[in-house]
Amino acid sequence: MHPDQLKRLASQVLTIEAQAVEQLQSRIDDRFVHACNLMLHCQGRIVVLGMGKSGHIGGKIAATLASTGSPAFFVHPAEASHGDMGMITAQDVVLALSNSGETDEILTLLPLIKRLGVPLIALTGNPASTLAETAEVHIDVSVPQEACPLGLAPTSSTTATLAMGDALAVALLEARGFTAEDFARSHPGGRLGRRLLLLTDDVMHTGEQMPCSAPGDLLKDALLEMSRKSLGTTVVVDGEDRILGVFTDGDLRRALDRQVDVHTARVAQVMTHPCRTIALGTLAAEALRMMQEYRINALPVVNSTGKLAGVLNMHDLLRAGVL
CATH number at residue 212: 3.10.580.10
- Asked whether residue 53 is domain-assigned, the answer is yes
Burial of 253 (0-12, 13-18, 19+ CB in 10 A): exposed
| 174 backbone dihedrals φ, ψ, rounded to 5° | -65, -40
Q: Which of 219, 276, 283, 271 is nearest to 247 (CA)?
A: 271
Residues 221 and 173 in one domain: no
Residues 19 and 148 in one domain: yes
Residues 127 and 218 in one domain: no
CB 41 within 8 A of CB 96: no
End-to-end CA gap in the chain: 46
- Asked whether residue 191 is domain-assigned, the answer is no
The Cα 42–Cα 60 span in angstroms is 20
> What is the Cα Rg of the chain in Å?
30
| SS3 of residue 144 by DSSP | coil
- Asked whether residue 117 is domain-assigned, the answer is yes
Q: What is the mean pLDDT of each run of 10 residues along the chain (323 residues)?
A: 90 95 96 97 96 96 92 95 91 97 96 95 97 97 91 91 96 85 61 69 91 93 91 92 92 89 90 92 87 90 93 86 72
- Asked whether residue 190 is domain-assigned, the answer is no
In the chain, the amino acid numbered 40 is L
Q: How many CB atoms lie within 10 A of CB 214?
A: 15
Paired residues of 94 in beta bridges: 47, 120
* Confidence at residue 189, expressed as pLDDT on a 0 to 100 scale: 58
Residues 34 and 156 in one domain: yes
Residues 168 and 205 in one domain: no
Angle at the Cα of 210 from the Cα atoms of 241 and 314, rounded to 5 degrees: 120
Q: Catalogue the E-assigned strands of 137-187.
A: 137-140
Q: Which of 178, 211, 238 is the last residue of a domain?
A: 178
Q: How many CB atoms lie within 10 A of CB 93?
A: 25
CA 139 to chain centre: 28
- Asked whether residue 186 is domain-assigned, the answer is no
For residue 176, what is the DSSP state?
Answer: H
Residues 130 and 243 in one domain: no
CATH number, residue 7: 3.40.50.10490
Q: Which of 178, 208, 224 is the last residue of a domain?
A: 178
Residues 17 and 156 in one domain: yes
Residues 275 and 209 in one domain: yes
In the chain, the amino acid numbered 171 is A
The Cα 153–Cα 158 span in angstroms is 10
CB 145 within 8 A of CB 12: no
CB 302 within 8 A of CB 280: yes
- Asked whether residue 142 is domain-assigned, the answer is yes
| 58 backbone dihedrals φ, ψ, rounded to 5° | -60, -40
Q: Within 13 Å of residue 83, how many CA atoms lie on the same side as its CB?
A: 0
Boundaries of domain holding 244:
200-319
Residues 171 and 279 in one domain: no
For residue 26, what is the DSSP state?
Answer: G
CA 319 to chain centre: 19
Residues 163 and 238 in one domain: no
- Asked whether residue 189 is domain-assigned, the answer is no
Residues 153 and 206 in one domain: no
CB 262 within 8 A of CB 225: no
Burial of 275 (0-12, 13-18, 19+ CB in 10 A): buried
The Cα 213–Cα 221 span in angstroms is 8
Residues 125 and 260 in one domain: no
* Confidence at residue 183, expressed as pLDDT on a 0 to 100 scale: 67
Domain count, the chain: 2
| SS3 of residue 229 by DSSP | helix
Q: Which of 128, 148, 178 is the last residue of a domain?
A: 178
- Asked whether residue 192 is domain-assigned, the answer is no
The Cα 146–Cα 168 span in angstroms is 23
